[in-house]
Amino acid sequence: MNTCAPQLLDYPKPLPSAFVPAAPVTRCRELAVGVIGPGRVGSALLDQLRAAQPRLEREGRLRLRLCGVVASKRMWLDCDDAELNGRHGGAQVWRPNDLDAFAAHVRGGTAPRDALLIDCSASDAVVSHYARWLAAGLHVVTPNKLAGSGALERWQAIRRASAASGARFRYEATVCAGLPVVQTLRDLLDTGDELVAAEGMFSGTLAWLCNRHDGSQPFSALLREAHALGYTEPDPRDDLSGMDVARKLVILAREAGWALSLDDVAVESLVPEALADLPREAFMDRLGELDAPMAARLAEARTDGGVLRHVAHLDAHGRASVRLAVLPAGHAFAHSRLTDNVVQFTTRRYCDNPLLVQGPGAGPEVTAAGIFADLLRIAESLELRA
Amino acid sequence: MNTCAPQLLDYPKPLPSAFVPAAPVTRCRELAVGVIGPGRVGSALLDQLRAAQPRLEREGRLRLRLCGVVASKRMWLDCDDAELNGRHGGAQVWRPNDLDAFAAHVRGGTAPRDALLIDCSASDAVVSHYARWLAAGLHVVTPNKLAGSGALERWQAIRRASAASGARFRYEATVCAGLPVVQTLRDLLDTGDELVAAEGMFSGTLAWLCNRHDGSQPFSALLREAHALGYTEPDPRDDLSGMDVARKLVILAREAGWALSLDDVAVESLVPEALADLPREAFMDRLGELDAPMAARLAEARTDGGVLRHVAHLDAHGRASVRLAVLPAGHAFAHSRLTDNVVQFTTRRYCDNPLLVQGPGAGPEVTAAGIFADLLRIAESLELRA
């Protein structure tokens, strides 16, 4: 084997662009894209799409066309720039928010095109449009958890619309952002494997708190630190309640074929009943009341020689729970890195050792990348256009 | 939250088949499949395909048609059964092995169809056909590492043929079997992320040996145990040489855009020079000669407070190495489960904490599932057929 460092330093070189020659640009897949919700994730996605556009077209893989953006109250359509370019010098023209007009514009008028709507909002109202958009042949990609974890009837209608029209509905980024979780579960099941259990730590905040909670300082001090660092939601109860984790578990449970809803998940909230309904300031003033119960849980875990972790669990019978669990010190979740998300699938094929995916499971850039990967998966299935 | 156990026991139920209605079976994707190499992996794949066929067709997702199987010396084509059904009562008729005739038959004659060849052989001769098959529009899926880690020119020709004809070439199962590794790296790069480092433990055998090697018994005793358990190749030097791990690293390096070949990888063999060329029996008799050097490496690791692991590493400059490395006790690889494969990608987006995938990375069933997932990915991009 050649171990000559200098040679390795100069060589290998990046592959020349001729390495995988671009297909004749006369035949290239083309996708019209509309983005709903230009917030932190939506903006990161727009940046990633703009940066990737020239490369994807050069490689003859995909011609991306951004047709519009919808914000909470107003929207921009590319045609406005076209029409008004002369007068406005290309400045973007915003018009009142109208989701249906937006969808119609992205899909194209007399000559409908391959079109994709990306919902980066956290809005339930937007989700209510999915089924209609999919039925009309528009693909939908989203990190919005409200479709997959909301009313079962609505989700079923969304899936039916997608199956009937052939328009694709993808939502990898709803669980652990850019980590390959939903697609990995999908592949296991589609290839005939059987899910025995899905376990995960789906909250970086709670993972950090559990990792740091070693008894050296009270839980409330750690929580205040996490809050100051911006690791928690503005109201930490939104993390401590476990509801966001439960939503992710419902999405995975439905992916596994269980007609599960949020109410079916046994969720243990870390917020004492007495503090659940207080105004935020009052709650922050009384954080100390979390210390005794959390210290007790830690002591209990240690007498068993285990560690305390916040775990979402789905079993082979579709039973779902989200709770503080005592795990053996050798458990994979016991060694997870601070703030990492982890998911592991135990199946008939992965029975002795499960399949495990771990890494940062939140943040605008990795969430946007998860959406972008879904977009590319859909683009692969588009017909080549002259 | 509803935590009523009985209700959770009875409910949720599996989703009714009407849940995601089958598309009218008049419009269903159709894929003609030919399998080369019905060995342990090939047979497991055929079992999985047969088992999944009715479900995939019922869901209106894919009509799979097995057109033939090629063994080392002979092959079976479905047309033989059709023609000779009367005389042979459906018994499979074998004819002499002819790869080109096989490919032509799977592709179909006057009316070419969407066709996929799956190479489950470990044959270099079969790989030499890939470029021609892809140029002819046949998709190719394989767990055979000889394409991605063999001659760079041949691999470039394969990629060029695929890009020019649009036929797909997929090889997820070449690295860590069914674990999502190649596609995960692909998605990171395609969405505009930049690879800083790829590290992995790609040999379950060496992972097991490193995990168990704690000084309580000599390395040779562990190696004999692994050999007796069937964890090693018949000749353990095939594991200890690190070459199989190096091949997987080359495949990932090329995926990352580096024009890398096996000779460019700095591979540290665990086989002492003096034992490299002995007959197998003679080597097995002298295993004891591995003990002193391995004990020394372990001692060295411990003085640094670290652990000894067999690690494949690719850096941001395309430098690749496979060696025994001393890792800090807190490193993710230090806690891996016995025989697990692990890979972690450090990128611009996953910089503080890398993206990690872990699990069993070998075995017929999980390898076949990796191939099957590639097949389904290709099927998604097929046009609907009446």
pLDDT in tens, A215-246: 999 999 999 999 999 889 999 999 999 999 99
Give the three-class secondary structure for B42.
Answer: helix
Average pLDDT over residues B337-349: 94
Question: Per residue in B258-315, pLDDT tens?
Answer: 999 999 999 999 999 999 999 999 999 999 999 999 999 999 999 989 999 999 999 9
The reported pLDDT for the residue numbered A26 is 57
Chain A, 45 to 84: residues with Cβ < 8 Å from chain B are 48, 51-52, 55, 60
Q: How far apart are CA A247 and CA A244, in angstroms?
A: 5
Banded model confidence at residue A66, pLDDT cuts 50, 70, 90: very high
Q: Which residue has the tokens 């914000």?
A: A71
Measured between CA atoms, how close is B267 to chain A, in angstroms? Answer: 6
Which are the contacts of B134, defined by CB distance < 8 A and separation ≥ 6? Answer: B140, B158, B161, B162, B165, B167, B169
- Spatial distance between the Cα atoms of A142 and A122, rounded to a whole number of angstroms: 10
Distance CA(B294)–CA(B301), nearest Å, equals 11
Number of Cα atoms under 13 Å in the Cβ half of residue A93: 15
pLDDT at site A19: 39
pLDDT at residue A6, as a whole number:
26
Catalytic residue (one of A13, A73, A145, A248):
A248
Q: What tokens were used for B271? A: 């086989």
* pLDDT at A174 (0 to 100): 98
Choose the closest CB to B317 out of A9, A184, A332: A9
For chain A, report the end-to-end CA distance as a whole number of angstroms: 48
Q: Report chain B residues whose CB lies below 8 A from the CB of A55.
A: 192
pLDDT score at A345: 98
Of the candidates A264, A262, A316, the residue with the CA atom closest to the CA atom of residue B7: A264
For residue B373, the chain A residue with the least C-alpha distance is: A187
Test mutation, A185, A190, A315, A365, chain B, max B CBs within 10 A: A190
Q: Looking at A139-193, list the stretches that DSSP marks H as alpha helix, in order from N- to C-terminal side.
A: 145-148, 152-165, 182-190
Q: Which residues contact A351 (CB under 8 A, 6 or more apart)?
A: A196
What is the pLDDT at residue B3?
Answer: 35
Q: In terms of Cα–Cα distance, which of B180, B207, B235 is closest to B325?
A: B207
Which residues 6+ apart lie within 8 Å of B379 measured at CB?
A: B29, B31, B61, B62
Q: Which residues contact A228 (CB under 8 A, 6 or more apart)?
A: none
The DSSP secondary structure of A6-53, one letter per residue, reads HHHHH-SPBPPGGGSPPPPTTSB-EEEEEEE--SHHHHHHHHHHHHHH
Task: Give chain A's mean pLDDT.
Answer: 89
Residue B313 touches chain A, beta carbons under 8 Å: no
- A198 or A329, which is more confident: A198
Q: Mean per-residue pLDDT for A276-291?
A: 96
Q: What is the pLDDT of residue A338?
A: 81
| A263 token code pair | 């109410």
Nearest CB to A8 within list B9, B51, B319:
B319
Beta-bridge mates of residue B94 = B76
pLDDT attached to residue A386? 57
Looking at the predicted structure, is the pLDDT value of residue A381 above 90?
Answer: no
C-alpha span between B147 and B166 (Å, rounded): 18
SS3 A63: strand
Q: Angle B40-58/B364-380 helices, nearest 10 degrees? A: 40
User: What is the average pLDDT score of chain B?
Assistant: 89
Residue of B nearest to A364 (CA): B349
Query: Is the pLDDT assigned to residue B358 strictly greater than 90?
Result: yes
| pLDDT value for B175 | 98
Query: Among B114, B152, B160, B190, which would you mutate to test the A interface (most chain A Cβ atoms within 10 Å of its Cβ)?
Result: B190
The verdict on B319 touching A (C-beta cutoff 8 Å) is: yes
What pLDDT does residue A244 have?
97
User: Residue A200 contacts by C-beta under 8 Å, 6 or more apart in sequence?
Assistant: A176, A248, A249, A252, A311, A312, A341, A342, A343, A344
Give me the half-sphere count of Cα atoms (radius 13 Å) on the Cβ side of residue B89: 0
The confidence score (pLDDT) of residue B82 equals 58
Q: What does the pLDDT read at residue B81?
A: 61
CB B358 within 8 A of CB A342: no
Contact B261, B272 (CB under 8 A): no
Q: What would the pLDDT profile of B195-225 be if each residue is shown by its tens digit? A: 999 999 999 999 999 999 999 999 999 999 9
Query: Which of A3, A191, A327 is best to mutate for the B interface (most B CBs within 10 A)?
Result: A191
Shortest Cα distance, chain A CAs vs residue B359, angstroms: 5
Q: Which long-range contacts (CB under 8 A, 24 or more apart) does B227-235 make?
A: B227/B284, B231/B204, B231/B205, B231/B339, B232/B205, B233/B205, B234/B280, B235/B280, B235/B283
pLDDT over threshold 60, residue A25: no
Residue A1 has pLDDT above 50, yes or no: no
Average pLDDT over residues B1-26: 37
Q: Are A343 and A198 in contact (CB under 8 A)?
A: yes
Q: Is the pLDDT of residue A173 over 60?
A: yes
Q: Chain A window 135-174: which residues touch B at a Cβ cutoff of 8 Å?
A: 156, 159-160, 163-164, 166
Residue A30 corresponds to which tokens in the numbers above? 């083309």
Confidence band (pLDDT; 50, 70, 90) for B17? very low
Residues of B acting as catalytic residues? 248
> What number is the average pLDDT over the span B145-164?
96
- In order of start, what are the domains of chain A with their CATH numbers? 29-178+365-379 (3.40.50.720), 182-360 (3.30.360.10)
Q: To the nearest whole angstrom, how far is the Cα of B86 from the nearest Cα of chain A?
A: 34
Q: Per-residue confidence at A91, pLDDT binned at 50, 70, 90?
A: low
pLDDT of res. A336: 82
- Does residue A374 carry a pLDDT above 70? yes
In this predicted structure, which of A307-311, B16-20, B67-71 has the lowest mean pLDDT?
A: B16-20
Residue A119: strand pairing partners: A36
Residue with tokens 């709650």: A283
Contact B3 A266 (CB under 8 A): yes
Residue B75 has pLDDT above 60, yes or no: yes
Is a pLDDT exceeding 90 seen at residue B91? no
* % of chain A with per-residue pLDDT over 90: 78
- The average pLDDT across A130-153 equals 97
Give CA–CA dist B189/A264, Å, rounded: 39
